[in-house]
A = this chain, B = another copy of it.
Amino acid sequence: MAIWQACAPFLRQKYILISPRTQSTNARMTDDAPDSLIPYDDVVQEALRAVVSRVLGDVAAGGLPGDHHFYITFKTRAPGVAIPVHLMERFPDEMTIVLQHKYWDLKVGPEHFEVGLSFSQVPAHLHVPFSAITSFVDPAVDFALQFHVEAESGPEHHEHAENDGPTIEANEGSNVVTVDFGRKK
């Protein structure tokens, strides 16, 4: 799907969108410019992953302020992900966790975060590199970052917000950063 098709639902809202020209040829709209020799898409994506790192680091140090809470979606088979086998079996492609009431031991490193969460009353320790994250959402203020993560297979539908905790309706993202360049590698 072309990036502009993916973005269309957001056009009626406040939003954050990113669609550099260095996307794949079939995603271009009107131009015939050469591919960029400067990897702007990678650089921007890397820069915005630092937002997740910074925000989680602040929360690890000071807790969640106010009503802020996070939905974090990541590729379970991305390099460096370490989660219990029963979770890997249940979520063979992607899973979403909620950092709100029930989490513990949140630690943030330069390249990853780790956290304790409860799934069906069973505690689990998750180790997730930032590079595995496909989505970071704070429903309290409709802030969202979306990333493109190369996967061996196509995206699959997965169950949502799986760890224990109150069900919160995430608002439709009004403020979405999309960094999905649809690149062929």
Q: Is the CB of B3 within 8 A of A36?
A: no
Asked whether any CB of chain B lies closer than 8 Å to the CB of A6, the reply is no
Choice from B18, B43, B47, B174 contacting A16 with Cβ under 8 Å: B18
Q: Is the CB of A142 within 8 A of B19?
A: no
Copies of this chain, how many? 2
Q: Is the CB of B58 within 8 A of A51?
A: no
A100 to nearest B CB, angstroms? 14
Residues of B within 8 A of A68 (CB): 36-38
Asked whether any CB of chain B lies closer than 8 Å to the CB of A66, the reply is yes
- What total of chain A residues lie within 8 Å of the partner, measured CB to CB? 45
Are A142 and B175 also in contact (CB < 8 A) when A47-B51, A51-B44 are?
no
Residues of B within 8 A of A3 (CB): 14
**Interface of A with B (CB < 8 Å)?**
3-4, 11, 13-22, 28-31, 33-34, 36-38, 40, 43-44, 46-48, 50-51, 54-55, 58, 65-68, 138, 140-143, 174-175, 177
In whole angstroms, what is the CA distance A31 to B138 when docked?
Answer: 15
Q: Is the CB of B33 within 8 A of A55?
A: no
Q: Is the CB of B37 within 8 A of A43?
A: no
Residues of B within 8 A of A11 (CB): 11
Are A55 and B38 also in contact (CB < 8 A) when A16-B19, A17-B17 are?
yes
Q: Is the CB of A141 within 8 A of B40?
A: yes
Q: Could you list some 18 contacts between A and B, CB below 8 A?
A: A14-B28, A14-B29, A14-B30, A16-B20, A16-B44, A18-B177, A19-B175, A20-B143, A20-B175, A33-B141, A37-B65, A37-B66, A38-B65, A40-B55, A43-B51, A47-B48, A47-B50, A50-B50
Residues of B within 8 A of A141 (CB): 20-22, 33-34, 36, 38, 40
A92 to nearest B CB, angstroms? 31
